[in-house]
Amino acid sequence: MARVLIPLPARDYDPTEAAVSWRVLSELGHEVVFATPDGAPAEADDLMVHGRGLDPWGLVPGLDRLVFIGRFLRADAAGRAAYDAMKRSPEWRSPMRWSDGRASEFDGLLLPGGHRARGMREYLESPVLQALAVDFFHARKPVGAVCHGVVLLARSVDPKTGHSVLYGRKTTALTWALERVAVRVGRIARWWDPTYYSTYPDHQGEPEGHRSVQAEVTRALADPADFQDVPPGMPDAALKTGGRARDRANDSRPAFVVEDGDYVSARWPGDVHTFAAAFARRLAAAAKQG
């Protein structure tokens, strides 16, 4: 079976995007290797794990355990269970360093996302990870990215072309429609930390969403139309775009995943079971091609 590299930031990645991907690939018999900046185990965004601190009373001791809005924003039961299992796994406990990753030693690269600026910026801005992504694309090995993980690829510039590795490809990522709702809810629910959902807040004078995931990724593409979103007439379009329903291993209806050759992308945690399964199919196809 395939050997897959999953780089993570030291902290604040999305628990569902990382852990469900790990679980799906592991259950299919693939070997997952995690990588972190310093080779120490990486902790997910704790707010996305338990939801505490995502309600307006989240600063009040004791009351912070009363989770209401946070229940809808945090990882769901499947995501939390996968994260708990991942943290008990030997691969999570013994990651390699980002700098030791080599495309030649793996069959695929999978990039989870996360939005909390405190930990995610180091990951998104890493020249080491960007160069690694370029190497995987040069090697024509499967690459998967979800949510902010696509931003890392958008910033991964191929020195041979001067363009992002996504230039000329079709992709999706966290859409502005989904991100905008989270940002606006976050400004109210977490009023003392209003930019929690904005990894890169817009600067003064910029239009709303200028630094959103969708906007940045789109600027890296050959054609703005290469950024894919759910078409209005697509089956289950309302379910896919509502921002509430999440997919399951046996229910892909809420998910939206884009495949372009050996590249697979998805929008948010609600797509990740379907995303990981699609990535696994790319690994299997690549193995057959030799």
> pLDDT tens digits for 139-185?
999 999 999 999 999 999 999 999 999 999 999 999 999 999 999 99
pLDDT of 65 above 90: no
Indicate the residue type of 202: D
pLDDT at 64: 85
Structural domains in the chain, CATH included, are 3-289 (3.40.50.880)
- Angle at which helices 15-27 and 77-87 pack, to 10 degrees? 70
> pLDDT tens digits for 263-274?
999 999 999 999
pLDDT at 62: 86
> pLDDT tens digits for 177-218?
999 999 999 999 999 999 999 999 999 999 999 999 999 999
pLDDT at 216: 98
3-state secondary structure of 41: coil
The mean per-residue pLDDT over the stretch 250-258 comes to: 98
pLDDT at 82: 98
Q: How high is the mean pLDDT of the chain?
A: 96
pLDDT of 253 above 80: yes
Q: What is the pTM of this model?
A: 0.97
CA distances from 173 to 39, 97, 170, 235, 266 (A): 27, 26, 10, 20, 6
Four-CA torsion 188, 191, 194, 197, nearest 10 degrees: -60
Q: Please report the DSSP string for 51-85 in residue order.
A: -TT-STTTTSTTGGG--SHHHHHS--HHHHHHHHH
Indicate the residue type of 242: G
pLDDT at 32: 98
pLDDT of 289 above 90: no
Q: Is there a contact between 53 and 70 (Cβ–Cβ < 8 Å)?
A: yes
Burial of 1 (0-12, 13-18, 19+ CB in 10 A): middle
The mean per-residue pLDDT over the stretch 14-26 comes to: 98
CA distances from 271 to 19, 239, 247 (A): 13, 12, 6
Q: For a pLDDT cut of 70, what percent of the chain falls above it?
A: 100
Q: For a pLDDT cut of 90, what percent of the chain falls above it?
A: 95
pLDDT at 168: 98
CA-to-CA distance for 147 and 232, rounded, in angstroms? 21
Read off the pLDDT band of 61 (50, 70, 90).
confident
